[in-house]
Structure 1
C-alpha cells in the first residue's frame, strides 16, 4: 500500500489543471515539479512534522519551497476549488445527503497568531476552533476557523453560508440542506429564525432537555475526528491563518476524495 502522502495518478489528474501556471525562470536551478512539492505538503499535513524537518531524501524539495507553494496555491483557491469539484462529483453520484446537515466545533491548541483566543476547555491556553458542517452522511461541506473563545452559535450562520455551490445534478446548484442538526451549544432562537429565513429547518437541542439529536449528530463528530487525524490540524502550528486554511481545505478535499473513490469501487464491484 502506498504511503498516504503519495499522490495517485487519478488524484493528480484532478489537481494539476487547477494549479496556477508559474512563469518560466531563466535564473537559478530548475523549480521542483509541482507533484513532488504537493507530496511534501501532504507529508507535513499527515505527519505534523515541521517544515524545516522535511526529509530531503524523499525528493519533496525544501520545506521553504513547499511552504511557498502552499501559500501560492491557497491564494489561488486551488484546494477550495478541488473540494468543490469533488463535492460536485459526489453529488452527481447521489452520494450527498441534503436532507440534513450537522454542525459542531472542536478546540485545538495553537501557538499564536490571528484567529486564536483563550480556550475555555484548556485552562485558558491559546487555542483555535474548527467549525464544521457536514452532510447527513458525514461528507465535509465547509470548515471555518476562529479563536478558541468564540461561542459556537455565533458561527452557525457564517458556517452555513460558507457551503459552496455544489453542482452535479440537474437544475440549479445546491448549497442549502433541508435541516440543520446541532447540539445545545447552538440553542438560541435568534439563530433558529435566521436559518428559517434561509429556508432551512433548525433541529437544535434545547438546554435543560434531553439531547434527542445525538443519534443523527454523531456523523459530524466522526468527520471532525477524521479531520484531526491529519496531525498538522490536531494542533495549530501556523501563525498565518491562510496557511492553516490551506491545510483545512486540502484535508476536506482528501476526505471527500476518499468518499468518491469508495463509491467508484462499490460501483465497479456491482
Structure 2
C-alpha cells in the first residue's frame, strides 16, 4: 500500500456503496486499484500521464473519475459514507457555511466558453443561448455544466469558487462550484439544499441541521427568512449598513436579529474543513478543464476526509 492509498478499514467502509457493474461494458475493473489512482491524482495534482503504473491503465483511472463525476456517483458515495457516520451518531449537526477561491491552472482553461459579449476571432461576438452573462454565471455546478465551466475572471486570471457546508467536526457536508466572482449569498440555499443524509431502512433523508453559523456575507433578508421558514436556529452577524438602516427607521425597523457569540466562535469549523480540502493539491489548484470533473475531484477529496476521520 502506497502513501495516500485506502487502508483495509477505509476500503471496507467504502466497498458496500460502490457500483457493481457498468452498463456499457459489464463489470468494472478492480475498484480499489482505480480509486487509489484517483485519490493519488487528487492528492498530488499529478498529470494523468505521470500516474504510477501500480494504479493500472491511466486512461481507466481518468475515465472512471470522469464518468463518476458526470453521473453523480461521487456525490452518492459521499452521502452514503455520511449516512453511515450519522447512523453511528458521529455527526455534529451544528454546521457552518462558507466559500473559498480556487485558482485555475492554465491547463484548466481550455474548455472555457465565452460569456455574453465576449469577442471571438475577427471581432465577432460569441453567441449565447438567450441568457445574460450574469444569469449564466449564477448557475452552480451541481451535476451538469454551467456558464464558463465554473471559471470566472479576476485580476490574477481564471478562478473558481468552492461553496461548502461543514459539520462540527470539520468535515464537508455539501459542495457547490461556481465562477470565482459569484457572491457567497447567492449559493447559500443551494448549498443547504444539497445536504441529504439517507437514513438506514425507511424514513426520509435528513436535511435539516440543528443550528447554523455563517459570516456577514450571508446576512440578508431572504436568507434569514429561508432559515426562519425551515425552523433552523442561526447565528449570522448583522451588516453595519443594515444595522444603520434599521436604526434610522426607529420602531418601524423592527428588532435586531439574535446573535450568539459563543455559537459564532464555532464557525471556525468550516474554515478548518476548507484547510483539509486544500491539503489535496488538485482541489487547492484547479487542473480540471470541465467544471463537473472539478466538482467530482472536490467530492472525492471530501469522501477521503470522511473515511479518515
TM-score band by shorter chain is 0.7 to 0.9
| 1:115 correspondence with 2:150 | yes
Task: For residue 80 of structure 1, give the secondary structure of its aligned residue in structure 2.
Answer: helix
> Deviations 1:90-130 (Å, cap 9, x if unpaired)?
112222122x21001000111333111123xxx35210011
Contact kept in structure 1, 2:82 and 2:197, CA below 8 Å: no
Pick one of 193, 214, 218 that aligns with 1:161: 193
Other-structure match for 1:226:
276
Partners of 2:71 and 2:8 in 1: CA distance: 22
Contact kept in structure 1, 2:196 and 2:205, CA below 8 Å: no
Other-structure match for 1:79:
74
Other-structure match for 2:253:
none
Partners of 2:186 and 2:171 in 1: CA distance: 23
In the TM superposition, residue 32 of structure 1 has moved relative to its aligned partner by 5.2
The higher radius of gyration belongs to: 2
Q: State the TM-score, normalizing by the size of structure 1.
A: 0.82
Other-structure match for 1:266:
none
Contact kept in structure 2, 1:136 and 1:219, CA below 8 Å: yes
Higher RCO structure, 1 or 2 (CA under 8 Å, sep 6+): 2
Pick one of 97, 104, 115 that aligns with 2:98: 104
Other-structure match for 1:70:
65
In the TM superposition, residue 35 of structure 1 has moved relative to its aligned partner by 2.1
Task: For residue 180 of structure 1, give the secondary structure of its aligned residue in structure 2.
Answer: strand
Contact kept in structure 2, 1:87 and 1:256, CA below 8 Å: yes
Distance of aligned partners of 1:140 and 1:23 in 2 relative to their CA distance in 1, 3 Å threshold: closer
Other-structure match for 2:19:
19
Distance of aligned partners of 1:24 and 1:145 in 2 relative to their CA distance in 1, 3 Å threshold: closer
Other-structure match for 2:234:
202
Task: For residue 118 of structure 1, give the secondary structure of its aligned residue in structure 2.
Answer: strand
In the TM superposition, residue 8 of structure 1 has moved relative to its aligned partner by 2.4
Contact kept in structure 2, 1:91 and 1:166, CA below 8 Å: no
In the TM superposition, residue 71 of structure 1 has moved relative to its aligned partner by 1.5
Contact kept in structure 1, 2:171 and 2:306, CA below 8 Å: yes
Partners of 1:250 and 1:189 in 2: CA distance: 34
Distance of aligned partners of 1:190 and 1:23 in 2 relative to their CA distance in 1, 3 Å threshold: closer
Contact kept in structure 2, 1:96 and 1:139, CA below 8 Å: no
Q: How does 1:130-141 map to 2 (within 5 A)?
A: 130-141=162-173
Give me the CA root mean square deviation.
2.7
Q: Paired residues, what number?
A: 249
In the TM superposition, residue 258 of structure 1 has moved relative to its aligned partner by 1.6
> Deviations 1:140-160 (Å, cap 9, x if unpaired)?
210110010000011100000
Contact kept in structure 1, 2:10 and 2:308, CA below 8 Å: no
In the TM superposition, residue 23 of structure 1 has moved relative to its aligned partner by 6.5
Partners of 1:32 and 1:138 in 2: CA distance: 33
Contact kept in structure 2, 1:166 and 1:173, CA below 8 Å: yes
Partners of 1:236 and 1:85 in 2: CA distance: 26
Question: Any unmatched runs of 5+ in structure 1?
Answer: 260-270
Partners of 1:69 and 1:156 in 2: CA distance: 30
